[in-house]
Structure 1
Amino acid sequence: MSRALILDTETTGLDPATGDRVLEVAAIEVVNLMPTGRHFHRLINPERDVPPEASKVHGFTASMLADKPLFAAILPELLEFLGDDPVIAHNAPFDFKFLDYEFDRCGTPRIPRSRMVDTLEMAKKRFPGLPNSLDALCRRFGIDLSARTTHNALLDVQLLGQVYLELMGGKQPGLALATTLGGSRSGLAATAGPVARTPRPIVNTAEEMERHAAFVGKLKDPVWAGLDAAP
């Protein structure tokens, strides 16, 4: 079983070094690339104002977060949910930079960079020179964006979970369409080995052969005209 967490944060700005803080954390659990339904989501009091330009991005204001817990209060539950598994994020260094700052404030060891998986870097390697924002990737993969009016962390990780599956090949490993004894498709099941296939040769009719010969006869020195006579 391969477990990972897809994570996103929303913040008061772009740089914790200038006093910006985390105000929302969301993560979903995926096993073998597929969401399990388990998730973590908390709004956080950032202990400071939320600039209007940041509110335009995620929709949160300081008054909306005033009664929410501090980051230190939600940290134990977050750590328990993340466990020791890989943490996947879009532009992951940004999220990890803010988590590092919050963890340092709480005196808690940072999440090792060895656990970080950056889907933005994955997308850049697969689609060099193209826009690779989460919105752009969702549109490219045909993922519904209608609910994304603002940058909500929980919605973003749900969308990123679908994008990550596509970036990893678009199919859950070990799954294939199962066939019942009656020959109908019954759903998904693990494949145990290669599937036996019956050859179905294509046999041309006499009319098709005549029409083909007539077509070839109109060509000037067709290269395949003498193939039948070749030893």
Structure 2
Amino acid sequence: MRRILYIEDDLEIGSWVKGDLEQRGFKVEWLKSGDGAEKVASEHDLVILDVMLPGLDGFTIGQRLKKDSPEMPILMLSARTAVEDKLHGLQFADDYLTKPFHPDELAARIEVLLRRSGISISNGVSFGHLIVNLSENRIVDQRSGEEIILTGKQYQIFMHFLRHPNQILTKEQIYEAVWGEPYIEGDKTLMVHIRYLREKIEKIPSSPEIIETIRGIGYRVKQ
């Protein structure tokens, strides 16, 4: 899972951004000021940094983080739109995004920075005892080191879950995404495929930890 250090003192914006990024599959550590940022920055893959902070401002914190970890991507967020501020930020930061912004734009810029730094979801994601290498279409059980072989439909279903981590997906959404045709109420096809998928990937299929059933709605894979 890709890890983001997010430094923002505005509680409303911070809560919104953190929640959105976690819905997209990121692990986010949110600090309300720059205090302690230098100690934990190395544990993360990218830093999102607001300019206006209590104590040291974002420019000063960002320069210190970049000096300690030159390879660390830093994305500046600011309500300041003046060209001078952007130029100041871009002297050390890798990108500069002005508020207000759309969450899709923030996510897209994060992906670009992570790709540039060689960190991408294709490098593999971990789900409990599973390692999923998307670039090689391989799923490996960490306990035994053995590859788990899925059928085509099982793999498509699992990949659909991975593209929507932590989201509750209805049976209709999953079926229509994988089979490409309308879901007919009462059809047990998806349920059967998920049962067989669980038998391959879960430690205890009757008590699943990866594919969670949301009663009356559908399923969810937590990351």
Report the TM-score when normalising by structure 2.
0.27
TM-score between the two structures when normalised by the length of structure 1: 0.27
Indicate the structure (1 or 2) with the bigger Cα radius of gyration.
Answer: 1
RCO greater where, 1 or 2, for CA within 8 Å and sep 6 or more? 1
